[in-house]
Every structure is written in structure tokens, then in C-alpha cells.
Chains A and B, each alone.
Chain A
Amino acid sequence: MDESVRHFIEECAQDLVGLEVALFFQSNPRAFDTASGIALRTHRAVSDIEPALARLSEQGYLEVLSRGDGRYQVFALSPRPEVWRVLCRVSDAYHENPKARKEIILMLVQRRLKERDAEAATSNSSGGRNDV
């Protein structure tokens, strides 16, 4: 798997929703919508969509436009060429290469498991302190 893809999955997408949002913008590069609009199109909860949009924006993959006198934010794909190149590689790997797709999913699952373990450990240590 291409290193840029691995890096995107690890650092930007981070979870399945992040990957879905990224792929949505790769497929529809002229989309510009609110978090709720994108949630509607990807059939995800707004609460799940918002962190993903935030990560992708922080990483420079999406642009955030504050509109309506700051009443709402609109997300659109960054026009930077390198963003488009990376997203195209991610799309190719996920859609065209079964082995890479499996690897991507495994990465995301393992990341999720690590997070759960970390969450559990945090919970146990704080619980232990309480119990102690």
C-alpha cells in the first residue's frame, strides 16, 4: 500500500466515518454542504460526521467556510492538487485493490481496538483509584 495512503488512513481518516467522508468528497469534488447535509448523503449521524469533518479540515483536506454571519459552516474539498492526488490514491486502493482495501479496513479496526483498549485502561485506572 502506498505510504501516502497509509499515512492518510492513520493520521487523517482515523476511522471508517472519516474514510467515508473523504471518499464522498473524492467522488463529488464539487459538493459543498453543512455537516448535516453531508450526514444525510452518507447516511451517518451528524454526531459521527462532525469529528471526521473536523479532522479532515484540520489536516487541510477540506475547506471550512463560515457562512450566514457565522450561523453555520459549509465544508468543501480543498482545491489543493496534492489533496486531490492523495484522495485519488485512497479511492483507488479502497475501490480497486481488494488486498489494499482489506489492509485499510484492518488498520481502521486495529486502530479502533487500540482506542477501546486505551479507553478501557483509562477507565480502569480511574476506577481503580476510586476503588482504592
Chain B
Amino acid sequence: MSDPVSTGVAGLDEILGGGLRRGSCTLLEGIPGTGKTTLGLRFLHHGAVADGAPGIAITFEQFPEQMVDDAAQFGWDIRELEQQGLMRIMCTSPDVFLDQLSEVGGVVDRLVSEMGAQRVLIDSASHLSQVGEDQRDQRQQFYSMINGLKRAGLTTVVTKELESSEILEIPFEEYLCDTVIRLDNRMVGGFRRRRFIEIAKSRGQAHRLGRHGFEITADGPVVYPRWEPQPRTVGDTCPATRASTGIPGLDRMLHGGLISGSATLVAGSAGVGKTTLGLQFICEGARQDETGIFVTFEESPDKLVCQAGGFGLELAELRDAGKISIIHEFPTTVRFEKLLLDVMAEIDRIGAKRVVFDSLTDLGMAFPNEESVREAVYELVSMLDSRGITSVVTTEVPELFGQTYVSGEHLSIIVDGIILMKYLELESEIQRAMSVLKMRGSGHDAGIWRYIIRNRGIELQSRFEGAEGVMAGAARTTQIALSVRSFNEFDEQLNAELLERFSQIHPNVQPVSLNIPYNPDEALDTVRTALRATSTHLSVAPMCLYWTPEIIATRRLREVHDLLSDAEWSQHIPEVVEPACEGDSIFGVPAIAVCGTLLYRRDLLEEHGFSAAPATWDELVEQAKKVLADEGRDDLIGFQFPGYLYEGLSTSFLTNLWSNGGQVVRDDGTCALDSEAARGALRFMHAAIHEHGITPRSVTSYTGGLEPQDDFTEGRTLFLYMLPSVLQEINQPDSPLAGRVGIAGPPHGPRGERGFSFLGGWHFGIPVNARAPVAAGDFIQFMASPEVQKERAMRGGPLPTITSLYRDPEVLAFNPHYPTVYELLCSARKRNEIPRYMEVSELLQRHLHPVLTGEREPDATLDELVPLVRELVER
């Protein structure tokens, strides 16, 4: 087949499959005003100008001078072409033309041969109907005319007027012509007319089906070919790469960002922040050298730049640097097909990787119905996909509140992802909520997130919890459970009050106190089990200071740094905060401080001649023996310490070890338990029970852990090595021991210069699988706040972690021992500094417990223990 003949109309050759077939006859039909004659003239003009192919226009109705004038509007100088012998516009009657065409040596023959004409425009075939008597005759005449033109080797365009855009009966000319092009001019959107073009037939030539955009511009007719949708390629890359949205919280919801090459619909009410999201997305891309295009219908480029500047987005700078391009179209005049071509050209020009379309709602004004919009979006998504573009397409949902229908045009199946942004009414406030409804080929956070728009743009704040119907616009609160650990019955009562108060502040949250074991080792098991679950009620994970690092290492905790401000973090005792830190991240908020203290019955010591607490263990033994002997009471116990099989036993040993100048691991990392300090420490613990008779063997067999406290608070113990919370309980006004108990640090051994306490405490963490992480965060903030910690301290609760409370006069009035305790806290040793402490503690418990029960000798046991500990700590 010979080369096709170019029409000279941009885009028309493309949909024709290259142009018109040489020597063919094309019917160009349409209602009045669709541009038939103009397009036909362009066909001739282009042939003459571009190819030097002479052409003839035969007009049966319009005067040639009018056609020349019309052509001049587009800059086509027909007169000049006529003078050059490249073009003729002839007017005649249809019958004359047909007769002349058939006559040998007729005017047409003569003209064709004189000019060497290659192209002919006949305007229009409608007048040929005057010639024939009936349709059969007319068809015969038309058929003959076509053959005559083909005989002359002419490529012909014949115009034909249609009475209506809706063709009820196919004109016979369509059967006879090789190509049929229909032009249309119809109302769109009520007040605007749009031109369209369609190749209804193209004999022997592949062409693009469907209606394409057509316009008559100042430069002449232009066709905007519709995009031919192609199979999608998104997700073909494995693993999928991500495109950050520039909104960290949203990126987390999306598990890292939008999938590169995907199309995401951002649906939301007016003013909810869709454009802002688009701006953040496009600017973030540009910062990462992913150039982008922002297509805006609503906002002018200047306004957009201004809006972006308000959020600290450097849109203007990025645009000036050529990293972002802004295409602005008015929704009432935009031609989608043209816009698509413009966007494609711009993508290719700047090598864009991201595109934002803001918004489909505006674009919808350019279409007559929803079906057209849907097709357009499909073409848009397909085009963007073909170029590997990651896109955000915004659309407005009409409902400010209430149920939202994301896409009446069923767009949801076309796009890869849907993000819904909503207003909602909750707790008498208008809030904004965002959720990811769909993300093809990727997991995503299924939660509904509260967000705000501040001077840095959109910021996700917290997940809506304890509320239903959020995305329906009217949230209803529901109760969610929080777990809280209490240390004793007294603490439990205090906690119950605090929980109730928290519920009043957060009506949608109902904290419940879970039965977490007192024994930290057992508590550890509970927390471990909860963290392993897919989802856990344990939204607030209590973490004992010495095993907090181990829990952090499971990677099952959420980062909680954002729960407190830097100023708030600095209020806490740094030594208590530190175990919850890993690098720059923090995984636990300190709620309780703990250290080992020696509680003693000051009244009894003074009564029996001792003016001060013992400074050494030997003094303690001496004082205990004397008081026990002097008192002569069967129920009085000299000294109690944690000695049963749990981590407290390790703590007791470590206190003795440190206070005797020893340590578990030397600074060089080697095991230091093969020392006289260690032997002395263990011998003392053994002797207290089995030699001095000041400690009952029952310290090795308690089951609940609270028995020594009870013995002390009920007046049956002289010395108790325990947490200071016992004293806080005793300081209650109704306590019989109020004012009769003293507190001191641990005594030291013969090899030590001073006693060392151990540092302990509890952190609150949030499991990654927590069902109510946001409520948990609120609760932790509440419990860790200075106000609540102060109240707990003043009501006999655990030690606060906020430094200033140890100097607060109101707190000191109730807790005069706090300065002593604070000194102990600050100088206390940290168990978690011992490498693999949890395993070391296991070894210590297993080997030392038989020593305390009298089943094993201290030295021999230590000899067996040392290599085991060495293997652990030196590994």
C-alpha cells in the first residue's frame, strides 16, 4: 500500500492510522457548524503547502471568496496558492460538475491535467441529491462520481450535511466511500458545546475507534486522540518500591508510602485537605528528585504557590528549579483529551515521576455524564501507568458529614488505592479523619486516623479508638479496655480511682486493671505472651526496668517519644528513662521508680540503745541479735530480705555483692564473681539465716512476695530490705507504725566502703499489636504526668519518676524520707548493665536459692556458678 496522505490536521492522521489512503474517497459528515469545510480546506491547504500537491475545492453552495476569507482566518493564503497553481476553489452546480466530471476533456479533466491536482474537496455531497430523481438514482450518481475521481487518481474528501447528530438511517454515501469521518458538535454540561470527531469507517486501514476531541483553533482544526487504554503494569515490579507522600503518618499507614506507579484516589469533602495532600506529595517527590506535575482546575498557579508556601512547602522554588510543573485549566473550558496530551507531553519533557490531578470533580464538568467521566479516568490512569507515574487524583464527595459514597462513577475499581478524608462530629467538635480504604498489592493500616492541618501541612495525630461510625461522620463512642498493673491492694485502690478519673476525661475509654503478677518474672511472661499475639488487650504494657531492654529487643513495642515533649522528658530521672532508650528512640515512659532500701524500726533500735541505722552488715547483725534477745518475742524477726526463687533473690545478692566492693563483670568485660567480695556476700546471706538466726528460713519460700512486707507493717520485723513503698504505706495516718520506722541505704560489707542499692522501676510501653494504642498513649501521658505522680506520692503510692517531686514541700510533708530515697536512686546500680542480665539472674537464682535453704555451701556453689556466669557474660 502506498504511503498514506497526510490530512495536515494534528491528531487526525494518528487516529486514521497514518492519514487518508492515497486515491481514496472520504466522506466527512456532520451537522452544521461542526467544521467540515474547514477540515476539508485544511486537507487541501496542507497538501499544497507541505507536499506541493495541488488541490481543487468544488463548492456547490458556498462562494469561493467566502472560503478564501474563512481560510485566511487560519493564516492559509489560498489566493497565493491559487497564483502558484497549487489550489483552486471552483463553484458550480452539482449537475454541471457531475456532467463535466464524466465528459472527456471536460472542465474537471482539463483542470486536473493542467494543475496536476492530487487532492479534491467536494463541498458538499448533500447538493448532489438535487441531481438524481430518487435515492437509487442519487446513489448511482454518487457512485459514478467517486469512480470518476478515482479514475483521475485523486484523493477526495466529500463533505455531507447531517440533519442530526443521532444518525437514524445510515446515508448511502457511507457505504460507497472508503473512509467515513463524523464530526459532531454537542452540548456538554448544559451551556457549553464541544466538537468531537469519530472515524466511523476506514476501509483497509487500522484506525482508532471511538470519539476523539476536535477543536477549531486559531491555527485550524486539531484532533485530540483519546488515549488507547493498555494493560496495567502497576505492581509488576517486585518488591514494589514506595513513593513517600510527604506525610509521615500517612506513609506509615501505607506501609512506607504509595506504591510507585500506582494511581490513588483521594476522596473527601470540600476543604478537608485534598489539595494540601497533593501538594505535600508532589513537593516530597521533587525533594527526592522525582519531578512532578500538578494539574489544577480550581486554584491558579499563583494561588497554589501561595497556598503551598503557607504550609512551608517550597513549591515556587521547586517549580523554578524545573522539578515541578503546574498545568492550570479552567474546568468550564478544559478539553480532557487535549489536557491528557498536554500532560503526556509535559511528563516526557521533564521526565516526571509523579502527577497530581486536582480534581476529578472539576474535570467532571467537561463531561456529559458519569460514564464519560469513568472512561476518562480510565484513560488517565492507563496513560499515567504507561509512563510509570505515581499519581494522586483528588475527588470531592458532596457529603460534608454522614455516609460517604466515594465514587458514583465506580472509579474505585479503576484506581489502585483510595484514601478517604472526612469531617466528623465527635465530642461536640468537628474533627478530620483519614483512612486508607484500598491499596492494591499492599497491606495498609486499616485504622481511622485523626489528622490536623497546621502550618506544616497535614499531620496525622492519632488513631480513632473507642468510636464507631467515624467515617460515617457521626462517631459514637464505645468502650475499650486498658490494662493497668497495681503493686499492692493499696495501690490497686488508688489506681482504681485514677482509672475512673481518666475515664471521665476520656469517656470512650474504660481502663480495666488486669491481673498481672506481682513477681516481675511472671509479669515478664505475661507481657511476652501478649506481645506475641496478633492483637492484644494489653494496650499498656508494664515493663520492669531490668527487662525493658529485653522487651525492646523483640521489636514489638511502639516508639513513644512523641507522647511527651522534650521538656516533659527532662523532668524524669534520667537513670530511669535510660533503659527504655535505644539509640534516639524511646519505647517506654517511666511511671514508677524503685530502689532497694533498708527499712528499720527506729523505735526499737532507740529503745535498745542504737541511735542510728547500721552502716555495715555486721552492725545490722549485732543490732538485730541484741534487739531480738532483749525483746524476747517469738514473733519478732530480725532481718528479712527477698530470698525466694525469683529475681528479687538476685537483687538481694547483688546488693550484698556491690556493698562488699564486688561486681559481676569487671570493666574489661570479664566475670568478677570469682572474688572474695562475692564469697563474702553469699556467706553473709547464708549466715543470716543459718548462723546468726536473725533471718527466718521462710524468706526462701514465700510465694506471693508480699509476706515480708506484711510482717514489717504488722510490727513483726526489725529490719527489712525492700522497696520504699512499704514505708509509704506505713506513713498513712492510721498506721500503728507511723513515725516509728526509719529508712536507710543498704549497709556495706567488710570489703566495701558504702552500700549500694539497685535501681528499679516500671515503664509503660505500647505493644505494636495493641488494640487501643492511642488510648494507651493518652493513659500513659495521664499516669506519667506530674499531677498524677504527685497525687500518688502523696497518697502512699509508688515512688515518682519526676525529680522535682522529691523536693516538693507538699510531697515531702507526707514523705519526709524522699531526700534519702532520691539519693539512693541517683547512686543505685543498674542491673541491666550486666550483660545478659536475665540469664545471669536465672543462674543466680537457681544456684543461690539452695544456699539460702541450707542445701548447699556458699563457696562450693559459687565455684560452680562462676564458670557458668563467665560463659554468659564473656561470650
Contacts and interface: CB of A to CB of B under 8 A. Distances in A.
Contacts of B103: 67-68
A30 B100 contact: no
Given A32-B96, A65-B107, A74-B96, A27 B90 contact: no
A110 B707 CA distance: 142
B63 A28 contact: yes
A34 B90 contact: no
A68 B98 CA distance: 11
The winner among A32, A33, A36 for most chain B CB atoms within 10 A is: A32
Interface string B96-133: 10011001001100000000000000000000000000
Interface residues of B, number: 16
Contact of B100 (A27, A28, A31, A67): A67
A31 B64 contact: yes
Given A28-B63, A31-B64, A40 B93 contact: yes
A34 B97 CA distance: 11
A98 interface: no
A72 to B, nearest CB: 8
A76 B93 contact: no
B89 A30 contact: yes
Nearest to A36: B93
B863 interface: no
B93 A28 contact: no
A36 B130 CA distance: 14
Contact of B64 (A28, A67, A72): A28
A113 to B, nearest CB: 32
Nearest to B60: A37
A116 to B, nearest CB: 33
Interface string A12-41: 000000000000000110111110110011
Contacts of B96: 32-34, 37, 67, 72, 74
B91 A30 contact: yes
B63 A32 contact: no
A104 to B, nearest CB: 20
Contacts of B106: 67
A28 B58 CA distance: 12
Given A32-B107, A67-B100, A76-B107, A27 B93 contact: no
B422 interface: no
Contact of B63 (A34, A36, A41, A68): A41
A91 to B, nearest CB: 11
B686 interface: no
Given A27-B65, A67-B106, A32 B99 contact: no
B100 A41 contact: no
B91 A31 contact: yes
- The residue among B65, B82, B92 with the most chain A CB atoms within 10 A of its own CB is B92
Contact of B90 (A32, A40, A41, A72): A32
Contacts of B89: 28, 30
A7 to B, nearest CB: 25
A32 B101 CA distance: 13
Interface in B516-573: none
A41 B96 CA distance: 14
A28 B769 CA distance: 87
Nearest to B108: A32
Interface string A69-87: 0001010100000000000
A37 B107 CA distance: 16
A68 B99 CA distance: 7
A40 B106 CA distance: 22
B88 interface: yes
A30 B63 contact: no
Contacts of B107: 32, 65, 74, 76
B65 A34 contact: no
Nearest to A65: B107
Given A27-B65, A74-B107, A33 B92 contact: yes
A41 B60 CA distance: 10
A28 B91 contact: yes
A31 B99 contact: no
Contacts of A74: 92, 96, 100, 107
B106 to A, nearest CB: 7
Nearest to B102: A68
A34 B93 contact: yes
Nearest to B89: A30
Contacts of A36: 93
A67 B92 CA distance: 14
Contacts of B91: 28, 30-31, 33, 41
Interface in B74-96: 82, 88-93, 96
A60 to B, nearest CB: 19
B93 A37 contact: yes
Contacts of A32: 90, 92, 96, 100, 107
Contacts of A72: 96
A40 B64 CA distance: 15
Contacts of A30: 64, 82, 88-91
Nearest to B57: A30
Contacts of A65: 107
A32 B82 CA distance: 16
Contacts of B88: 30
Nearest to B91: A31
B41 to A, nearest CB: 14
List the 3 closest A-B pairs by CB distance, nearest first. Answer: A37-B93, A30-B90, A27-B65
19 contacts: A27-B64, A27-B65, A28-B65, A28-B89, A30-B64, A30-B89, A32-B107, A33-B93, A34-B93, A37-B92, A37-B96, A40-B93, A67-B96, A67-B99, A67-B103, A67-B106, A68-B103, A74-B92, A76-B107
Given A31-B92, A67-B106, 10 more contacts: A27-B63, A27-B64, A27-B65, A28-B89, A32-B90, A33-B93, A40-B93, A41-B91, A68-B99, A74-B92
Interface of B: 63-65, 82, 88-93, 96, 99-100, 103, 106-107
Interface of A: 27-28, 30-34, 36-37, 40-41, 65, 67-68, 72, 74, 76
